[in-house]
Structure 1
Amino acid sequence: MVNHNLDSSLPSGWKAYAHFTKTSGWAAYAGCVWALLYAVFVRFYQAAGGTIGLSAPIVDTTGGIYIASYVVGVIIMLCGFVLLGLVKPWGKVVPSWIPWLGGVSIYRGFLLFPTLLCSVFLLAHGAAGIITRVLFLAGFINLKMPTFSGEVDMRIDALWDLFVYQPWFFIMGVLAGLSAAHYAQARDVSLSALKCGTLLFLFLTILVTAIFVAAIVFDFVEKLSFF
């Protein structure tokens, strides 16, 4: 088993980071609650026809958008529960009551890698959303609204994005990332690997954020804030 005593050769900043993430099991519980709140009070609420947070009602004659909002809400809830696997025993060993697989050790990358990738997406989505809304409100860029919206007040929508929706993504990304780092240490990932993995994670997050910002500013793709 890997010795988790802090390596004396590590800089003090990395020592503090390793200690903090090692004791960050709370982030998984907070992330699960955070996901449930968004799923219920945003996705399910809008799927039921709620309009708070929208400057105009959604135009959807087929009901497809409402169904999609509900499905996304269910997926977000499931992702929240997956975070619990990073701090619960069933995230390390398959529960004994499951036929044929009970008692089998779970490969740490099975939960770790998807969580890290989702965290990169969440952080990049939130950061890019905040940056572009600030640029829009300052008058530097224009934003393209989805075709399913009616007459909208772009500034109101941008303010909701800036202070509600995009911060949710960013905070969820932070909580997921902390949960993954905690899980990595609980599964005996070495401190050197944790350091290298963290640097790679930060690089990917910055890269994806830049891509998202460019896509929104230059309208490469449809608006990336459906969630």
Structure 2
Amino acid sequence: MQQITMNDMTSSPRWSAFERFTKRSVWPAYAGCVWAFLYAVFVRFYQAAGGTIGLSGQPRSPETGLYMASYIMGVLILICGFILLGLVKPWGRIVPAWMPWIAGKPIPRAVVLIPTLLCTAFLLAHGAAGIVTRALFLASVIDIHLPEQYWIDMDLHDMALWDLLVYEPWFLMMGLLSGLTAAHYAQASGVSPSALKRSTMLYLLFVVLLTALFICSIVFDFVEKISF
């Protein structure tokens, strides 16, 4: 009886459509790479060079803090975009020739999927929680507090608008593109449809719980917020 139920779930029209879409679609990896490049260059590297558009306050130590943090985040985002391409390219599944002893061997699936899925969960939860809390703040439902040691002055209303319209949607879209790419890689690397179905359901539950944790941390201010 349990087997019949699982087969019915796995063969549902919506799931079958998702499975077919992710199995044949490689464009999310390319779109994610471009999306990462645009954010890294026009937001992070721009702010690292001293740009002020998109900043709603005056940082206490921009030379040693904000600028360097923006530059490092920009580099990391570019690397993440490049990694997405590796999930859909043959060279992303084989250990490079320049690595001793293990060169040419297949990269274990878990080594690729686990960090990709963790980063994807963070992106999705960050974007969803940010959109929800900024919208609630602008509607005067909640208050948002920023660490005073990082900013001399901050226009919270302006910050919330930038987050709601620019920054958080980027996180959410990047998470969606990364998740679709991971689903494609999972199928291309031999994950069975039933295993993919179960894993996807559990993963979505994890993302929902992580999003709820992020929202609570902002609303109740029990974890010091970090701006990315």
Q: TM-score, normalised by structure 1?
A: 0.91
In 2: Cα distance, 1:206 partner to 1:163 partner: 22
Are 1:51 and 1:57, in contact at CA under 8 Å, matched by a contact in 2? no
Q: TM-score, normalised by structure 2?
A: 0.91
- Residue number in structure 1 paired with 2:213: 211
- Residue number in structure 2 paired with 1:81: 82
- Residue number in structure 2 paired with 1:174: 176
Q: Deviations over 1:169-224 (max 9, x none)?
A: 00000000000000001101100011011101100100000000000000011224
Q: Which moved more, 1:125-134 or 1:50-59?
A: 50-59
1:97 to partner: Cα distance = 5.7
Aligned AA (1:72): M
- Residue number in structure 2 paired with 1:63: 64
In 2: Cα distance, 1:166 partner to 1:146 partner: 19
Runs of 4+ more than 3 Å apart:
6-9, 95-100
The structure with the greater share of residues assigned to helix is 2
Aligned AA (2:105): V
Aligned AA (2:163): D
Q: Which moved more, 1:21-30 or 1:213-222?
A: 21-30
- Residue number in structure 2 paired with 1:39: 40
Are 2:31 and 2:177, in contact at CA under 8 Å, matched by a contact in 1? yes
User: Is the partner of 1:57 in helix, strand or coil?
Assistant: strand
Gaps of 5+ in 2: 1-6
Q: Deviations over 1:54-77 (max 9, x none)?
A: 223323165233112211111111
- Residue number in structure 2 paired with 1:118: 119
Are 1:128 and 1:212, in contact at CA under 8 Å, matched by a contact in 2? yes
Identity over aligned pairs, percent: 60
